[in-house]
Amino acid sequence: MQIYETTDYNEMSRKAANIMASQIVLKPDSVLGLATGSTPEGLYQQLIDKYENGDLDFSKVQTVNLDEYVGLDMDNHQSYHYYMVNKLFRHINVDPKNCHFLNGMEKDSQKECSRFERLIQGFGSIDLQLLGVGENGHIGFNEPNTHFSKGTHLVALTQNTIEVNSRFFKDKEEVPHYAYTMGIKNLMDAKRILFVVNGKRKAKILRKIITGPITPEVPASILQLHKNVTVVADKEALSLL
């Protein structure tokens, strides 16, 4: 793991955006694995700024999103599809046909997960996978005690994740209890992983992820075994290391 410490969230976002931008400059038809949550918002804004300055061209980029809530359609403001379109895609020149999502409205989970697996396999591999982390160590929606060998699958969200993510919903009752997610296997198959973490509330889990045992209880601990992980984290997140 290569670890970059930044003074704050803004510097984390700038540094991570520069890494992603260099990936796109060096390989304009990169396949990017993208993540949601509050952590990457600043990074996405930086990418928009670079596009507006004429420094980045997304026209050949392909994107695959990590995960999606089951039961939310793409126009639902809490869906990850809506997030990606509004926080990034509609502000840049990515071709909407090149932006791929899990469909939270597909009730047949086996059909949806196989479709997504075929899609990822069709790309060969993901060039750069962006990841944030949940407070319980989940990546994508791979909750604690998920098998590391899993591909795309349906997940029952833990009570902790439902509670933490309820801050984005009007009411805790509105948080879906299920999600589709790429599996750890899909993430480990990516050529490079860009892992962004910020804030005090992630300090405890980040210490476990980087220095603790590799265990399904802390899903992100598997990243210790990936050969090309870049961690960009702020001082607060790294404060317990």
**Residue ranges of the alpha helices (H) in the chain?**
9-26, 41-52, 80-87, 109-123, 159-165, 184-188, 203-211
Q: Considering the complex, what minimum distance in angstroms separates the CB of residue 192 from ligand GLP?
A: 17
Task: By CB under 6 A, tell whether 129 contacts ligand GLP.
Answer: no
Query: Which candidate, 69, 92, 91, 93, places its Cα nearest to that of 81?
Result: 69
Kindly tell me which of 97 and 171 has the beta carbon lying closer to ligand GLP.
171
3-state secondary structure of 30: coil
Kindly tell me which of 97 and 170 has the beta carbon lying closer to ligand GLP.
170
- For 129, phi then psi, to 5°, come to -105, 120
Task: By CB under 6 A, tell whether 189 contacts ligand GLP.
Answer: no
Tokens encoding 36: 């949601």
Kindly tell me which of 60 and 230 has the beta carbon lying closer to ligand GLP.
230
Q: Considering the complex, what minimum distance in angstroms separates the CB of residue 28 from ligand GLP?
A: 26
Task: By CB under 6 A, tell whether 36 contacts ligand GLP.
Answer: yes
Task: By CB under 6 A, tell whether 165 contacts ligand GLP.
Answer: yes
Size of the site for ligand GLP (CB under 6 A): 14
Task: By CB under 6 A, tell whether 236 contacts ligand GLP.
Answer: no
Tokens encoding 205: 């889990």
What is the Cα–Cα distance from 206 to 137, expressed in whole angstroms? 8
Task: By CB under 6 A, tell whether 37 contacts ligand GLP.
Answer: yes
